[in-house]
Structure formats: structure tokens, C-alpha cells
Structure 1
Amino acid sequence: MEQAQVANKSSLKAKVQKLGSTLSSMVMPNIGALIAWGVLTALFIPDGYLPNESFATMVSPMLTYLIPILIGYTGGKVIAGDRGAVVGAIATMGVIVGTDIPMLLGAMIMGPLGGWVIKKFDEMFQDKIRAGFEMLVNNFSAGLIGFALALIGFVAIGPVVNTLTEAMASGVEVIVNAHLIPLANVFIEPAKILFLNNAINHGILTPLGTEQVSEFGKSILYLLEANPGPGLGVLLAFTLFGKGAAKSSAPGAIIIHFIGGIHEIYFPYVMMKPIMFLAVIAGGVSGSFTFQLLGAGLRAPASPGSIIAIMAMTPFNSVMSVVSVLAGIAVGAGVSFVIAAAILKADAKNTVDNFEEQVQQTQAAKLSSKGIAVQPVSGINRIVFACDAGMGSSAMGASILRKKVKEAGLAQQVTNAAINNLQDDANALIVTQEELQERAKQKAPHATFVAVENFLNSPRYDEIVASLSGNGGTPEKKSETLRPEEQLPAHALKHVSEIILAHDDRKGSATMAKKVVQDLLTKESLAVPIRKSHINDLHANATSLVITKESLTQQAKDTAPEAVHFSVNSLMGNTNYQRIVSSLKETV
């Protein structure tokens, strides 16, 4: 019963993250257009820094037509590639012309709708098209479906979205007038750390903020999620009062967070001590209260949420505009710091020491200095870091592993991508944060997966390099030596009909080990089935060869005493696997 509830919660969480990711994936690729529009507005409107009547004529068309069409195009492409992009853009035109307000929200509906409809059309009719008519059918289907959706958008969806937008705008106005905007951070800050930050900022706040900018010239909504103050306060507290790797890594994290704008870097510091949620919530609420009190706002979204991007989007029409933004950030950081510092000092045991287990940054240098073998294991030909938006922390994680792969002399390409853009490739190794792995597996079920807690500091990277290099375990253990009781003569494997890799909760190691053994079996033309199993779900018989780590061997023997058992230092070491496969071949 409890497992079912956990599964349902996990599934619901994945669906919410998927919806939020879909919304943000339409806006984030087009942030450049929003920034261009914001700069154009800041410079050339009558109240701008360099008023220019001719250049200012671009302001309204960009907001009314260009940005919504780009969002619709991107939304269609996320669902159905290039054909979906074209249909999504055509469909978006219907809601644009059918209303008198900027249709960012309408585009976020029509774009994916257009992509979904054309995708379903292709699934139904693609295999029924006669040879030679493919281009004709594809072009006319996209045009006619886009035409029909544009009419629907003009007549039905546009007016509905217009009404909803006006209602939301009225709601925002009520919240602003009631001085309740700071309370939004009670929900925003925890949601950010659950990897919904891009969904909130670019899927909800950006469209509403753009509507406010078109009327008032700036919007406080752009600051609610992007404020780096709460995260900065937490990192400062760990810098001064933390312990171990958490303390030593926090100063570097401050630079990446505050200047680089990669907010994900402070998420692990909060998640390792859940009571830290109080610090970021209090910092967010106090920062937003200060923004509201002083009338702060930005002309366009600040993406990423760095102090540089925020100041670039701050109106410079008065000193107070700048002061109000900096004050909100400073107050948010100060409040967050005070509470986080109190939490760390009050915790006598200071359990943040477990952060050291997640870092282990020195392993990379050891890998290079120990002269690890550089012949890659066949099968995995590319490594993809996947996160919600395919930017920020995943790009940095990919950069870290790319360096390690290069130092080890491996040929695998290391890239980063948004989860929505993943391709199902059996030869791909996909690295995700634990919170996002379920969604990633839905997009690429046949790929190999490794989950990490933190893209920027993870010992799993060295494990990946070791596995791909054909050398398991830590660098100090270049090869595994069989103890006498672990020697398996060929006759012990004579009746083996399957191989089981029994693992604990670190199933990523078993997945990669399975790939290694399967490749060795294929190379020797052996058709022995191989599967992985959690140690608690182990089912084996007398014809099963069960491979486990030393720490799990006794439990495996107690569970399946009749099976043949083999213990290894690390599931990802392949020296012993080669011996096993050679012994199996001798029995054939």
C-alpha cells in the first residue's frame, strides 16, 4: 500500500514537472527575443534613454506578433519536430489576430496543440500514403491543419485566453494592491528546489510580467523567482558555519549562483537539510516585500537569474529603480543568511558532513595520474546530461564530465539537452538528477541511466569514466584479485542458464555492468540471458549465476542458497567478468 502511494506521488510529481517543463521549454529558447524587445523598449520609446520614433515602431509588432509566433513555433516543435513547429506557428496566428492583447499564453496553448494534431495525423496516415505523394500530402496536411486551427484559435481559443488573461491580470492587480505579492514566495521557493523553477519563471511569471510591462513599463513579477538573494544567503551561511565539503565548496557555488545565475547549484545545500526551506522561503518573502515596498521591477525577464542579467534588465530612468532592485536582493540574502546560519549553529551534530560523500573532487586527478586504460567499452557512444531546460547546471555538469572523459582518452561525446528533447537511443548514457530520472526514462526508455544528486559535484562521474575505460572501482583498484573462495572453475558454470546482477539502491551501476557483460557475451557468441535485480527482489535457482558486491553476497546466498554466487569489489569492474565469460565459453 505504501509503495503504491509512493509510486502515485512520484508519477504525479513527474506529470507536474513534465507540464512545467513543456511550458518553460517554449519560452526559454526565445528569451533572447524577449530581451531584445526589452532593450528596444528601454532605449527607444518616448520615456526611454534614447527616444527614437522610428525605432520605437518595432516595439509593438515584436510583442504582438514576433514573440507569440516564436513561442508557438517552439511549442509545436517540442511536440512534433519541424512539422509541428510550422503548424504551431500558423495556429498561433489565429489567437494573435483574434484578440487585442499580447498572446503569449495563447501561443503556449496553440503551439503544442498544433504539434499534437499534426503528430496524430502522421501516426494515422503516414503509412497509408502512396509512394511519390509524400511531399504533396505532408505539405497540404500541415497547411490545412494549421488553417483549421488558426480559425479555431481566432473564434474560440483566443477570446477564452483573452478572458483568462484579463482575469489573471486583475488577480495580479488585486494581489499588488493588497500588498500580498510576497506570499507567492511561500510556494515559489520550495517549487524551485523541486526543479520547477523554469516552469514557474518562464511558464507563468514571464507571460504575466510581459503583459504588465506593455502597460507600466516594468514588472515586479520578473523578480519573484529570479531573485538570487535567498540562495546567496544559504550559501553564505554554509561558507561561514558549514563543515567539510559543504563549507569548502560553498564559496565557489556563490560565484556560480550569484554571477553565473545558475540557481540549481544551491538546491543540494537546502535538500540535505530540509529545514533550510525555512531560510529560502523567508528570504524570498522578505525580498519580494522589499521589491513591492520600493516599487522595483524589470523591463524584461532576467535569464539566467544572475546579478548581471538582473541589472541589465533594470530600468535606469532613476536612481531609485536601481536601489529598489538591489535592496530587495540584499534583504532576501540577509534574512536567508540569518536563518540558515541559526539552523547550522543550532545543529550540534551538523550533519552536513555527509556532503563530502557526494563531492570527492580529487578522484579526477587520481584517474589521470594512475594511468587508467583508455580503451572504451563498446555500446555507449555518447553521454547526455539531461535537465529540465537543457541549460544551466546540466551544461556545467557536461563540461565537468567532458573534461574527465578527455583526460581518460575516451571517444564518447558528452552533450547536454532538455528532457523534452531526448532521443531514445540504446547506445546513449543519460545522466540526470534523481528528481528528474523518471521523466527522462519516459522519453528514452532504452538508454542507460545514471542518476546524480548534484550535477556539479558527483562521485558518479569517476565511476562512469572507470566503467567506460574498462576499469571498475576506484583508481587504486585497477584490477580485482579473486580470493581463493571466489575462484570459479569451469565445471561450476557448466549448468548456468542465466546471469543475475543483484544490486542495492544504486541501480545505475548494475545497468552499466549489464551492458559490459552483455557486450562480452556477444563478442564470444554466447546466448546466455542476463538481467539485473534488486537484492530484496532476488529470485534465483540452481542454474543461476548471481553476481553481487561483497557487501551483498551473504544476503544473496541466504535468499538463493542453491544458486552459484560470485562476489566482486565493484559491479562496474570488468576484469572478473572477462574471466566468467571465458569460463562459460569453456563449458560450451
Structure 2
Amino acid sequence: MKNKVQSFGKFLSSMVMPNIGAFIAWGFLTALFISTGWFPNDRLATIVDPMLMYLLPILVGYTGGKVVGGDRGAVMGAIATIGVVVGSDQTMLIGGMIMGPIGGWVIKKFDEQVDGKIPAGFEMLINNFSIGILGMILAIIGYYLIGPVMSAVLVVLESGVQFLIDNTLLPLVAIFIEPAKVLFLNNAINHGIFTPLGAEQVSEAGKSIMYMIESNPGPGLGVLAAYWAFSQDKITKSSAPGAIIIHFFGGIHEIYFPYVLMNPVILLAPMAGSAAAIFFYSITGAGLSFAASPGSIIAFLAAAPRGETLLVLAGVAIAAVVSFLVAAPIVKMGGKKSLDDAKDDVKSMKSTTAPVAIEGKVSQVIFACDAGMGSSAMGATKFRNRIAPLNLGIKVTNSSVDNVPAGTDIVVCQAALQDRARKSAPNAQLVVINNFLADPALDALFAQVEAMATGETAPAEESVKADSKKKILIADGIVLGCTATTKEEAIQSAGKLLNKLGYVDATYVPAMLEREKTVSTYMGFGVAIPHGTAAAKDAVKKSGIVMLQFPNGVSFGDEDAQLVFGIAGVGDEHLDLLAKIGEMMEDESNLSALKTTTDVEKVLAMLG
């Protein structure tokens, strides 16, 4: 049921989001030049109504038709939409959302029926006339039937919204909005529902409270501030300030969803903050002139009507303060809950942080989010910059989770979107993360990509491969009951053992220390996998892994590692064992046994 709601919501928002720039252009014209705007101008104000009545609905219908029926569907969607636009005296954004996809579906079905049956030489004639005739029919249906019906529906919806506002009941909407947002329905709610309703209100009053309900950055700010101030988990606490900047100023609200999911009771905080802000905006009559997208404080204030900037800012502050006050005691009582405890419904996120064993050549990595514009763009940029020094020629970009490009080798997405990612890219390897800012799965992916830069082509003969894999981890490469005071000391011990066993020469050890200065090799769950830099690939003689056990732990920054796997890789010979280590990290009992056992043979048996 949840997936169906997500798909429907995504479908609605997919018709609006590509056209947000047009909505913003209309919004600025409204905010600046209508009679109550910043710079009233009667001539420029005449652009406002035609954009709202014609341009925006037709763009929505065009996009909806294209989503369903491609380029021909887009033209059909636009033709069909003009019927409902002219057949109603109200703004037909919702009409475009209906007629656009219908137009795309009709021409798609027509093309399927005539596929292979058109006589040679008549293709252009039939293609053009089919759109012309079918589009005309849909436009007439829209004019006489859909337009009047949608007008009546809009009257009912507007009356309902006005009833909620007049009776100060609109804050109750927050009870439903905030839980829906953390299920990644934020774009669907804002652009599929509130944007069309808000546009109608703006056409009459020059502003709308509907634009303020989902996009207010205050509730999320309060949650993140509470984790920054009171979280007992060091990684979560240290990641919160960066998340605040990205959420509040960048407008990427998805960044705070994992902080809510790690302790669902926290939902009470943004719900309370949002309700308080909506109540404030309701009693003061505040509104925005256009959709604040993304939900950055910059966009939020830019959409404020003349003379209401401080009023709009006050509502954001109220939401943040209330959200913080509710979240603070919950975070305190949550103990050491970390981002790794965030869950997608009942699915634990812990299984997503294990090292990734990359299979085959990687040429394209896609970071995917719901809309393909916010958190995915940020994640792709960070990872692209991170791997740039390796010069591997890997393309790293972002897309919507439902439209992953063909030929993608690896898809990186958040846990709540993994089912959609698998459906969209069934042949791609999936890396499921929790936080685009700091996630062990991203560190593991980087380690694997870096290993590709240090490796050489593995021997072609299967017998040679099999023999090399057997010798990657041997009994002499396992040392139990170690002690170390610093991570540098532990890494040196691992490097010296790799050198002693003939896997690397002595220059590899300082390269391991240099690698640790760049990005921590701590993977989570008490496991670290130190290895050399890309420049040290010539120091690797053959693939090998050593394991050092530190029962009392050794500090790797904010966390302690009890297991340190020193890695030297040629080609992909060591990846099977890394995958096995990843599997062990998913099983807490086996992982605990590795950390405490005094039997080397048991370690060999457990790691295969």
C-alpha cells in the first residue's frame, strides 16, 4: 500500500517539478508587479494571469503526457489540456494533471495498435493526423466534460481549505504531513497537491498559506539542532551541523529524515513545530507568493510578499523552537541511538553499511533520490569530488530513483527508496545508505573504487585465481589479543605484517598511514580496513589480507575498532573476502565472536 501511495505521489510531482522554474517566474512576476507587489506595474502585471491560466496548466499537461507517452504523448497532453483550460473559469493545474497523462496514454495505445501496420510512405501522414484528430477529440471532451467537473471539484477543495483556515483547524494537517515527508512523499505533497491549490489562492489574494505547509525549514532545523546539542552518539552529533547547513540553506529536507527514522518518537517534534507555525500563519493571514522550492530559508523568504518578510521569518523561528523543545528530551532519553539505527519501516539500516564488493568494471555511478534534484545531486557532487584524484574515468551523477539511466553500474540511494531503485535498475549493483554526509557504506564504496585504482589485471586462468584466493588470508596473517594506543600504531602493525608475509614491500606501510589521513578506513561495528593510497599500487606484490584483533579496542576517531583488516589488493582477488567480512558485519553474534575468540582456526573457518 505504501509503495502505491509513493508511486502515485511521485507521478503527481513528476508533472510539476520539471516546471518549477516556470512557477517561480510567475511567482516573481506576481510578487513584484501586481498592485500589492513590491514594484506595482500595470503593464507587466498583465503577464501574470495568462501565465497562470494558460502557460502553467499547459506545461503541466505537456509534461504529464511526456511521462506517459514520450514526445508524442507530450504534444497530445498539451492539446488535451487546452480544452479544460478554456472550458473552465478557474486555474486548471489539476486539470492539466488529468488531461496530460490521458493524452499520453491515448496516443501510446494508438501507436501500439498500428505498430507494423502502416503502409510504407504513409508514416508521417498517419503520425501527424493521429495526434491532430485524437487531440481534438480530447480537447472537446475536456472543454465540455472534464473542465466543468474539475471546476466543481476545485470549488469544493477551496471551500474545505477555507473552512480549515477560518476555524483554525489547518494546523492539524501537520499530523499527516510530517510522517508522509519522512516516507519521501514531500515532493508529491508539496508539488502535487499544495502547489495547484496555492496557485488558485495567489490568483485571488496574491499569496497562499498552502506554500508554507510543507516547505517550512523550521521543523527539520529543530530536530537537527536537538541532535547536535544532546545526541550521545559522536558520529550523529558531529554530522548534525553539516546537515543543518544543507537542510536550512540548501533546502534539501531529505537530509533530516534519517535523524527522525532512528527514533520514530522524534516525529512528534516536527509535527508540533509545523502545527505551531501553521497556527501562527493562519491567525496572522500570512502566505507566500509562489512555491518555495527547494525548501531553503532563502527561497522561503524570497517568496514572501511585500511587507511580510519578518512575519514569514517569525513562523520559521516558531517552528524551529517548538520542534527543538520537543525533540531535545527525546534525544536525551534515546541514549546512544545512531544514524545506523534508522529504519525503513521494519527494515534495519545496519545491513546497508557493510563493505561493498564491486563486481566487474564500473563506468557509471548514479546517486538517486525521489525527485533526482536534491539529496542525490549533493551526494553525487561529494562522491565525484572524492574519487576525482583517482582518475578512473568513472561518471558520477544523479537522477530520480524511478528513472535511473540505462547502463548504470552502481546505484546509491537511501533505504526508503531501495525497492524503487531495484525496480528502476534491476541490473545495477545497489548501495543503500542512510546519510549522504557520513555513511560507512559510502566509505566502503570509496575503498572499493580506490582498490580498483591500485589493482592490476588478475591472471586469466581460473586455477591461478582460485589458488591466489586461498592464500589471501592465512593463519600467519591472523594475530589475536593485540594492543595499541593509537590507530596509527594499529595500522603500522597491520602494514608490517603484510610486508613480513610478502604481500607488499616496506613502502606500503607509510602509504597506509597517508591513506588514513585522507579518509578514515573505519567501517563501523568495530571494524577498520586500512590500506594504501592509489600511488602505492607498485608496492603491492600480491593480494593479501591480515587480521589483527584488539579486544579492548583502538580509537579510530569517534569510534573504537576491535578488528583491523590490513588490505593489499591486486585486481579483484581480495574482493570475495571483503564481501565475506561484510556478511560477518551483518551478524552481530558472529562479529562478536571474531572480536573475542582466541582460536586462529576458528577465524579461518568463519571467514572461509
State the TM bucket, normalised to the shorter chain: 0.7 to 0.9
1:82 to 71, 74, 79: 71
| Aligned residue runs from structure 1 range 241-256, under 5 A | 241-243=230-232, 244-256=234-246
2:134 to 122, 145, 148: 145
Q: What do the CA deviations read for 1:14-34 (whole angstroms, capped 9, x no partner)? A: 111111111111111111111
1:206 to 195, 198, 202: 195
Rounded to whole Å, the distance in 1 between the matches of 2:339 and 2:417 is: 25
Which residue of structure 1 lines up, in the alignment, with residue 32 of structure 2?
43
Residues 457/79 of structure 1: CA separation in 2 closer, same or farther (3 Å cut): farther
Q: What do the CA deviations read for 1:193-226 (whole angstroms, capped 9, x no partner)? A: 1100000000001100111111111111110001
1:350 to 336, 354, 363: 336
**Is the 8 Å Cα contact of residues 75 and 108 (structure 1) preserved in structure 2?**
yes
Which residue of structure 2 lines up, in the alignment, with residue 414 of structure 1?
396
Rounded to whole Å, the distance in 1 between the matches of 2:129 and 2:179 is: 47
**Is the 8 Å Cα contact of residues 246 and 355 (structure 1) preserved in structure 2?**
no
Rounded to whole Å, the distance in 1 between the matches of 2:318 and 2:242 is: 22
1:432 to 413, 419, 423: 413
2:5 is the alignment partner of 1:16: yes
Residues 394/550 of structure 1: CA separation in 2 closer, same or farther (3 Å cut): closer
Which residue of structure 2 lines up, in the alignment, with residue 385 of structure 1?
367
Residue 186 of structure 1, CA deviation: 0.5
Residues 144/324 of structure 1: CA separation in 2 closer, same or farther (3 Å cut): same
Residues 353/91 of structure 1: CA separation in 2 closer, same or farther (3 Å cut): closer
2:424 is the alignment partner of 1:443: yes
Letter in 2 for 1:483: I
Residue 427 of structure 1, CA deviation: 4.6
Q: Secondary structure at the match of 2:295?
A: coil
| Aligned residue runs from structure 1 range 252-291, under 5 A | 252-291=242-281
2:315 is the alignment partner of 1:334: no
Residues 21/427 of structure 1: CA separation in 2 closer, same or farther (3 Å cut): closer
Rounded to whole Å, the distance in 1 between the matches of 2:86 and 2:606 is: 66
Rounded to whole Å, the distance in 1 between the matches of 2:54 and 2:197 is: 17
Which residue of structure 1 lines up, in the alignment, with residue 580 of structure 2?
549
Letter in 1 for 2:309: V
Q: What do the CA deviations read for 1:36-90 (whole angstroms, capped 9, x no partner)? A: 1111112222222222222111111100000111111111112222111111111
Which residue of structure 1 lines up, in the alignment, with residue 508 of structure 2?
none
Which residue of structure 2 lines up, in the alignment, with residue 541 of structure 1?
none
Rounded to whole Å, the distance in 1 between the matches of 2:387 and 2:67 is: 30
Rounded to whole Å, the distance in 2 between the matches of 1:90 and 1:401 is: 43
**Is the 8 Å Cα contact of residues 287 and 332 (structure 1) preserved in structure 2?**
yes
Aligned-residue Cα RMSD (Å) equals 3.2
Which residue of structure 2 lines up, in the alignment, with residue 216 of structure 1?
205
Rounded to whole Å, the distance in 2 between the matches of 1:194 and 1:235 is: 18
Q: What do the CA deviations read for 1:391-439 (whole angstroms, capped 9, x no partner)? A: 110100111221233233222211111234334x355322222211222
Residue 567 of structure 1, CA deviation: 8.0
Residue 552 of structure 1, CA deviation: 6.2
Q: What do the CA deviations read for 1:485-508 (whole angstroms, capped 9, x no partner)? A: 99xxxxxxxxxxxxxxxxxxxxxx
Residues 418/281 of structure 1: CA separation in 2 closer, same or farther (3 Å cut): same
Letter in 1 for 2:25: A
Letter in 2 for 1:56: A
Q: Secondary structure at the match of 1:351?
A: coil
Q: Secondary structure at the match of 2:379?
A: helix
Moved more, 409-418 or 232-241: 409-418
Which residue of structure 2 lines up, in the alignment, with residue 3 of structure 1?
none
Which residue of structure 2 lines up, in the alignment, with residue 464 of structure 1?
445
Letter in 2 for 1:237: A
Letter in 2 for 1:385: F
2:160 is the alignment partner of 1:171: yes
Count of residue pairs brought into register by the alignment: 468
Which residue of structure 2 lines up, in the alignment, with residue 292 of structure 1?
282
Q: Secondary structure at the match of 1:128?
A: coil
Q: Secondary structure at the match of 2:413?
A: strand
Letter in 1 for 2:333: A
Residues 131/420 of structure 1: CA separation in 2 closer, same or farther (3 Å cut): farther
**Is the 8 Å Cα contact of residues 377 and 468 (structure 1) preserved in structure 2?**
no
**Is the 8 Å Cα contact of residues 219 and 298 (structure 1) preserved in structure 2?**
yes
Rounded to whole Å, the distance in 1 between the matches of 2:203 and 2:54 is: 14
Q: Secondary structure at the match of 2:396?
A: strand
Which residue of structure 2 lines up, in the alignment, with residue 373 of structure 1?
none
| Aligned residue runs from structure 1 range 391-410, under 5 A | 391-410=373-392
Moved more, 270-279 or 138-147: 138-147
**Is the 8 Å Cα contact of residues 392 and 453 (structure 2) preserved in structure 1?**
no
Rounded to whole Å, the distance in 1 between the matches of 2:402 and 2:422 is: 11
Residue 569 of structure 1, CA deviation: 9.6
Residue 114 of structure 1, CA deviation: 1.4
Letter in 1 for 2:580: K
Which residue of structure 2 lines up, in the alignment, with residue 586 of structure 1?
none
2:124 is the alignment partner of 1:135: yes
Which residue of structure 1 lines up, in the alignment, with residue 498 of structure 2?
none
**Is the 8 Å Cα contact of residues 364 and 407 (structure 2) preserved in structure 1?**
no
Residues 297/112 of structure 1: CA separation in 2 closer, same or farther (3 Å cut): same
Q: What do the CA deviations read for 1:214-268 (whole angstroms, capped 9, x no partner)? A: 1111111110001111111111111111131111111111111111111111111
Letter in 2 for 1:434: A
Moved more, 426-435 or 143-152: 426-435
Q: Secondary structure at the match of 2:338?
A: helix
TM-score by length of 2: 0.71
**Is the 8 Å Cα contact of residues 408 and 425 (structure 2) preserved in structure 1?**
no
Residue 483 of structure 1, CA deviation: 2.5
Letter in 2 for 1:450: V
Rounded to whole Å, the distance in 2 between the matches of 1:84 and 1:552 is: 47
2:158 is the alignment partner of 1:197: no
Rounded to whole Å, the distance in 1 between the matches of 2:231 and 2:214 is: 26
Structure 1: gaps spanning 5 or more residues: 1-11, 365-375, 474-478, 487-545, 556-565, 571-575, 577-588
Rounded to whole Å, the distance in 1 between the matches of 2:208 and 2:412 is: 37
Moved more, 462-471 or 425-434: 462-471
Rounded to whole Å, the distance in 2 between the matches of 1:234 and 1:343 is: 10
Rounded to whole Å, the distance in 1 between the matches of 2:132 and 2:283 is: 51
1:56 to 45, 70, 80: 45
Q: Secondary structure at the match of 1:127?
A: coil
Residue 550 of structure 1, CA deviation: 5.7
Structure 2: gaps spanning 5 or more residues: 343-347, 455-468, 478-575, 588-602
Q: Secondary structure at the match of 2:116?
A: helix
Residue 130 of structure 1, CA deviation: 3.7
Rounded to whole Å, the distance in 2 between the matches of 1:265 and 1:140 is: 49
Residues 90/421 of structure 1: CA separation in 2 closer, same or farther (3 Å cut): farther
1:111 to 90, 93, 100: 100
